[in-house]
Structure 1
Amino acid sequence: MTNAATGLPFDDIRNLLKDLPGPDLEAVRACRAREAQLTKPPGALGRLESLSEWLCAWQAHHPPKAERVVVAVFAGNHGVVAQGVAAYPQEVTRQMVANFQNDGAAVNQICKTFGLGLKVFELALDHPTRDITEGAALEEAECAATMAYGMEATEGCDLLCIGEMGIGNTTIAAAMAHGLFGGAAEDWVGPGTGVDGEGLRRKADAVRRAVALHGPHLSDPLEVLRRLGGRELAAMAGAVLAARVQRIPVLIDGYVASAAAAVLKALRPDALDHCMAGHLSAEPAHRRLLEKLELRPILDLGMRLGEGSGAAMAAGVVKAAADLHNGMATFESAGVSGKEE
């Protein structure tokens, strides 16, 4: 993939990607040292132990923190819905945003269960992106500005979960995955919110035509984002990038959020090292996409809702991992005999 500077708005994004902080190895060492002293056999908490270490590495701090967890849900609309690719009308995007704001959605209940903050970002819902089968979804300046807007989601948090709402956006995710990783259009499409067999054929056809139309420009991942993507995907990519710069670990939700993050991975192979996949979506292509991203999901509950719900559920596990690491007694403090040499 090329990332040569163009002298255009994307240059700011490319410049941020040039100098990303890495993991803090001192914090990792401190985490491992305490973990070895906790009142349990070594490795007994399995992956929960690695989650604490992950937090320390990317927060550059020991002990790990998971007190100010924010679920950021980005909402956008898509012109490709005109191709008959969605099971629901486009006005559902705005209606669901109102549902989030009125505390009525699944993600609201998950956030209340685990004490998570919820931020909802509306992205020009009355002005859908252009139909990707007919032209570029966004102009470069629009896309870069939306990425910058997404960067605001990191304010005041020590763990960020990204999710989305947007009728038609599994078609967009499929087009981006196809544009980034090749294969056949059918490899990347799925039922989304519940389209039937004919709807799946329309989705695959729309993805195929869009990628063919924009093909000469797709060697640049940022062009994939602006031509085949959408506002909520651009905003999520911006949020993930800002989190890396600010040393905030990220939990990525399902298929659409993973497609947004894939742009950064294609630009720089280690760009998602501060991220974990919150869950494995039931959307069929999500597993394939996570393999491309080299991300192992924390949960596999058969969810396919979007709206940050899988990442929010995973945040409950991460919070538990941090509390276990920070709150458990050591062998010395509890007066428990350690392992015999």
Structure 2
Amino acid sequence: MPVHTPSRTPVRAPSNAAYAAARALSDGQAKPLGALGDLEALAAWVASCQGVCPPRQLEDVRVVVFAGDHGIAADGVSAYPVEITPAMVYGIAGGHAGVSALAAANSVSVSIYDLGVAVDFDDLPPEVSRFKVRRSSGAIHLTDALTRAEVEAALAAGDTIAAEQIADGAQLLISGDLGIGNTTVAAALIAATLGVPGAAVTGRGTGIDEGTLVHKTALIEAAVARAGDRVADPVERLAALGAADFAAAVGFISGAARRGVPVLLDGVIAVAEALVAEDYAPGTKAWLQAGHRSTEPGQALALDRLGLAPLVDFSMRLGEGSGAVLAVPVLRSAVAALTGIAQLSDLT
């Protein structure tokens, strides 16, 4: 497995020249100045990421789902049992999950990798388990989620997956998530990254009741307190509070940015990973857009730090990359408008 790029390595910025050219092209079109609102800025962002104006249409969009179990789920933080995780791995691998249906409707491909599910999948294609780091993770309120070596292995796995997807032609990537207890891990990472109380970032996840929400919040606050000052380092933060699937997604997001391919974020899981990715590889956030607004409170705080605004809001909380998939037509429409509307000077 290749060695990951060292943390704190800056990422080059998208092209300012392509962005400016796209805005000028839009301003000259046969429409009132600024009439397409935020679509104009989105099209310019795509152009800046591609380094060319007009931008190419986003024909090859891919969701990569990172699956893992989380030790803290045994302490009753979810409305569903841990057995759901492997069941949904089969669902996604077989093309029958929520993200599968939405992706098929929007010409987006889906793949899944098991980084830390508590069981193995010998009856699925070997590619699914190619990068498996371990079975489940430590219960973060009691012990570290991973060793540093396991974090390094997961980061390298995510980076490799990004590199392979891009080499195969991916123009836009989406990081999907799967694993019972993952909103608890995400909330802990957001709280530690932003230095805010657990109560400010903890939501109901899969639909927990009030008593479980109080319990979940207490566990998150205990986890962040246990991690202490180690959270200042993004790799140590992942070791203390993350999981293999989270670390792989951080490597995937930062790896895509380093290679000049944009990433569309899903809900609170992906946004927590993006926060860590920005610390791990500064400059990553310039290559990101927020696909949709999650119902989890931590997502809004994290997006504020990243300077991102969600493209759609359907009050979704499914995960798997599903909300981001619904934002793909918005980005494609932005590109279509920039490339398909005539210049006013050509019509007069």
Structure 1: how far apart are the matches of 2:281 and 2:91? Answer: 37
Residue 146 in structure 1 maps to residue 157 in structure 2? no
TM-score when scaled to structure 1? Answer: 0.90
In structure 2, the partner of 1:38 is 29
Distance across 1 between alignment mates of 2:74 and 2:315: 29
The DSSP-based 3-state class of the residue aligned with 2:63 is: strand
Partner residue of 2:194? 181
User: Secondary structure at the residue paired with 2:218?
Assistant: helix
Matched, 1:80 2:93: no
Deviation per CA, 1:236-265, whole angstroms, max 9, x where unpaired? 111111111111111111001111111123
- Opposite residue 12 of structure 2, the aligned amino acid is P
CA offsets, 1:140-189, max 9 Å, x none? 11111111211213432111111201100000011111111222221111
Show CA shifts across 1:207-231 (max 9, x none): 1111121113122122111210112
Residue of structure 2 equivalent to 1:5 = none
Task: Quickly say closer, same or farther: Cα 1:241–1:268, change in 2 above 3 A.
Answer: closer
The total of aligned residue pairs comes to 326
CA distance in 1, matches of 2:115, 2:10: 29
Task: Quote the Cα distance in structure 1 between the aligned partners of 2:21 and 2:172.
Answer: 20
Question: Are the equivalent residues in 2 in contact too, given 1:146–1:231 (CA < 8 A)?
Answer: yes
CA–CA separation in structure 1 for the residues paired with 2:44 and 2:253: 19
The one-character-per-residue Cα deviations of 1:109-161 (angstroms, maximum 9, x if unpaired) are 22122211212122131210111122110111111111121121343211111
Q: Which sits farther off after the overlay, 120-129 or 168-177?
A: 120-129
Q: Is the contact made by 2:4 and 2:155 (CA closer than 8 Å) also made in structure 1?
A: no
Q: How does 1:111-260 map to 2 (within 5 A)?
A: 111-125=103-117, 126=119, 127-151=135-159, 152-153=161-162, 154-155=165-166, 156-260=169-273
Query: 1:233: how far off?
Result: 1.1
**Can you give the 5+ residue segments of structure 1 that lack an aligned partner in the other structure?**
1-8
1:331, CA displacement in angstroms? 3.0
Q: Determine the C-alpha separation between the residues in 2 that align with 1:19 and 1:256.
A: 23
- TM-superposed CA distance for 1:272, in Å, is 0.8
CA distance in 1 between partners of 2:299 and 2:48 (Å): 26
Q: CA separation in 2, counterparts of 1:276 and 1:145?
A: 27
Partner of 1:100: 92
Answer whether contact 1:83 1:202 (CA < 8 A) is retained: no
Q: Which amino acid is 1:302 matched to?
A: S
Q: Which digits, 9 at most, give the CA deviation of each residue in 1:304-336, with x for residues without a partner?
A: 111101111111210111122122233355xx2
Q: 1:60 aligns with which of 48, 51, 57?
A: 51
Name the counterpart of 1:292.
Answer: 305
Q: Distance in 2 between matches of 1:114 and 1:192?
A: 26
Give secondary structure in 2 for the equivalent of 1:73.
strand
- 1:268 Cα deviation from its structure 2 partner: 5.7
The DSSP-based 3-state class of the residue aligned with 2:292 is coil
Matched to 2:207, the amino acid is G
Provide the C-alpha distance between the structure 1 equivalents of 2:82 and 2:244, rounded to a whole number of angstroms.
15
Displacement of 1:291 in angstroms is 1.4
Aligned match for 1:22, one of 13, 35, 48: 13
Residue number in structure 2 paired with 1:89:
81
The DSSP-based 3-state class of the residue aligned with 1:14 is coil
State how far apart, in whole Å, the 2-side matches of 1:41 and 1:113 are.
32
- Measure how far apart 1:104 and its partner are: 1.9
List runs of 5+ in structure 2 lacking aligned partners: 120-134
Does the CA contact (< 8 Å) of 2:116 and 2:137 recur in 1?
A: no
Deviations 1:266-300 (A, max 9, x none): 34653311101111111122212211222111112
Q: Which amino acid in 1 is paired with 2:78?
A: A
> Could you tell me the percent identity over the aligned residues?
37
Partner of 1:4: none
1:102 shift after superposition: 2.3
Whether the 8 Å CA contact 2:271–2:302 is kept in 1: the answer is yes
Instruction: Tell me the amino acid that sits aligned with residue 228 of structure 2.
Output: G
Q: What TM-score comes out, normalization by structure 2 length?
A: 0.88
One-letter amino acid of the counterpart of residue 156, structure 2: A
Which stretch of the first structure deviates more once superposed, 153-162 or 223-232?
A: 153-162
Q: What secondary structure sits across from 1:137 in the alignment?
A: coil
In 2, distance between residues paired with 1:143 and 1:301? 34
